[in-house]
Structure 1
């Protein structure tokens, strides 16, 4: 399995995240992907290649143009306004306020386009987000070209980014654009399977009213964890997308025996949808020692999960999402891929 990975991910490294009422080093940090990359090499999983430049055309067809312009110019606008630190949202529109009017001043604009203030932006965020998207696009091209699977080692991750908002460490929704590219490449229906601990709210947002890109997500119950306000089981799609959205929320302490039953349910639904290709939002923060989750999966469980996904026998693009137990993230991620390959 070929992996696509850009060193430009290092350009995004905020120095602070608001967590538990204090500023801490962000859980989403460059060392995460270094552990994964090193594990890929030590296990001899395949070539690791630079993806080359991003193609913004498919991104622009799927995401809001105003949002993309904001991401491109936010840092320059922030500095021009005399702001000294990193970009952190301090004001956000709430109930009773206008959701349809974008402020002119950058401080208000940041809040308009952000849905979670733990996610800071720096001078290199836009370039890093584009390089992450480029990795997803290169993996798609590999699969369209005939490979059974490919792995996009994306950082920053993407599944919390909606068509017009960032948050949850995500700026551009890599999995969503990958699915759309597979559709454009000839697959009549492309399923997205999100196994990250946190609900893929951005991916659901983008495809909620479409039936050609069905979405299934296994995640912590939103009553108890981020993103809190979305990800409930009764969210099943809208309009042409009715019945094409499957949320499988689970409570604190969920063991693999329960989680794997949910995975099997998602796999059965994907088969019922008649998917011709698959995008896996590959988060491994369901791990028992992850610092910001509450599931209880062991490292070996990820191997079994990968094997179950592999038995679907679909052309598959794996897109890296979360996983914050730094010293185990490489083992757990590669276990999914090796299980998928039947190694």
Structure 2
């Protein structure tokens, strides 16, 4: 299987993470790359560097205002006397219609949803090349490749069009899907990360040309809390083009696969011609977030079920955090997609 990754993605090395009021080391460590790459190569993936397609495919999803912020905020932040080593907001607007401030601190609050997406010196560069990896993966499908894997890191599915959050800055899966749509496909995004793909949902919520589906731990008591509930079906022209399948904490393989069957039925009914899978591996029973309880063999079953659609498919890496099983989970999933 073709695979894409750029070495500049190593440069993002976040330090700050806050959960339940406690400051902890960020789980989104560069070491994830080494383990995921080993897992992908064990499944037969051959990595190539992405081609720089420029800012256009990224700007098709993210606002120019937001991209300007991401590119420049660290330099502006460092000019603030006593500023911390990373851009972390301490104030947020009540909604997206409040005033847009001039100050670096105010804009950080506007464009960063939480304390899990600190911006440091190399964050923009790494996020840019993570997105370019996804774009090259989408182009590979457009050129006739049946399936490809993208080691997108930092991940992307919590990023809205103008808002970072949950370790994510640019929405790689959304960028890839829009690239496929522009090339003439009718894409769907299937998010199997343990966390709801709230950014992806928000980007396409009022559109009918890209189907978005997320299977995730119930957000009533799990990040991202405010999105991912069953009643969120889309709006306007997009009504009925968003499907959320929240699961109880601790859900295992069989119940997960039953929900996956519902997702695959909806993808078929949509008339999908190319599929983007937002591939989180953090649904594993030993993942640090402990949301669901998928086993390593269970990931092979999930991969095989998705591949049974026989669609051109791009697997874009999302979550999956440091544990002894991480690389084996990716190997299991990708091997499952290739059949017996």
User: Which TM-score applies when normalising by structure 1?
Assistant: 0.96
1:317 to 307, 314, 319: 314
- Residue 130 of structure 1: aligned partner: 128
Shift of 1:325: 3.7
Contact 1:159 1:200 (C-alpha < 8 Å) held by counterparts = yes
Q: Distance in 2 between matches of 1:293 and 1:99?
A: 35
Call closer, same or farther: CA 1:90–1:277 in 2, change over 3 Å. same
- Residue 76 of structure 2: aligned partner: 77
Shift of 1:52: 3.2
Contact 1:54 1:133 (C-alpha < 8 Å) held by counterparts = no
- Residue 225 of structure 2: aligned partner: 228
Contact 2:232 2:244 (C-alpha < 8 Å) held by counterparts = yes
Call closer, same or farther: CA 1:331–1:93 in 2, change over 3 Å. same
Q: Distance in 2 between matches of 1:325 and 1:285?
A: 9
2:189 to 192, 211, 223: 192
Shift of 1:44: 5.3
Shift of 1:62: 2.0
Shift of 1:54: 4.6
1:185-334 paired onto structure 2 within 5 Å: 185-187=183-185, 189-334=186-331
1:141 to 135, 139, 142: 139
Matched, 1:66 2:65: yes
Matched, 1:342 2:339: yes
Q: Distance in 2 between matches of 1:100 and 1:58?
A: 28
Q: Distance in 2 between matches of 1:117 and 1:158?
A: 16
- Give secondary structure in 1 for the equivalent of 2:221: coil
- Give secondary structure in 2 for the equivalent of 1:215: strand
- Give secondary structure in 2 for the equivalent of 1:117: coil
Call closer, same or farther: CA 1:287–1:44 in 2, change over 3 Å. closer
Shift of 1:114: 1.1
- Residue 50 of structure 2: aligned partner: 51
Question: Could you report, residue by residue, the CA deviation over 1:102-150 in whole angstroms, capped at 9, with x for unpaired residues?
Answer: 1111111101111111221100000000010011011111110001011
- Give secondary structure in 1 for the equivalent of 2:180: helix
- Residue 175 of structure 1: aligned partner: 173
- Residue 165 of structure 1: aligned partner: 163
Call closer, same or farther: CA 1:330–1:54 in 2, change over 3 Å. farther
- Residue 21 of structure 2: aligned partner: 21
Aligned residues: 339
Q: Distance in 1 between matches of 2:263 and 2:215?
A: 8
Call closer, same or farther: CA 1:54–1:120 in 2, change over 3 Å. farther
Structure 2 unaligned segments of length 5 or more: list them: none
Contact 2:2 2:148 (C-alpha < 8 Å) held by counterparts = yes
Contact 1:35 1:326 (C-alpha < 8 Å) held by counterparts = no
Contact 1:54 1:130 (C-alpha < 8 Å) held by counterparts = no
- Of stretches 47-56 and 158-167 in structure 1, the one that deviates more from structure 2 is 47-56
- Of stretches 131-140 and 31-40 in structure 1, the one that deviates more from structure 2 is 31-40
Shift of 1:53: 2.4
Q: Distance in 1 between matches of 2:43 and 2:202?
A: 37
Structure 1 unaligned segments of length 5 or more: list them: none
User: Which TM-score applies when normalising by structure 2?
Assistant: 0.97
Q: Distance in 1 between matches of 2:269 and 2:225?
A: 29
- Give secondary structure in 2 for the equivalent of 1:62: coil
Q: Distance in 2 between matches of 1:88 and 1:46?
A: 36
- Give secondary structure in 2 for the equivalent of 1:158: coil
Contact 1:216 1:266 (C-alpha < 8 Å) held by counterparts = yes
Contact 1:276 1:314 (C-alpha < 8 Å) held by counterparts = yes
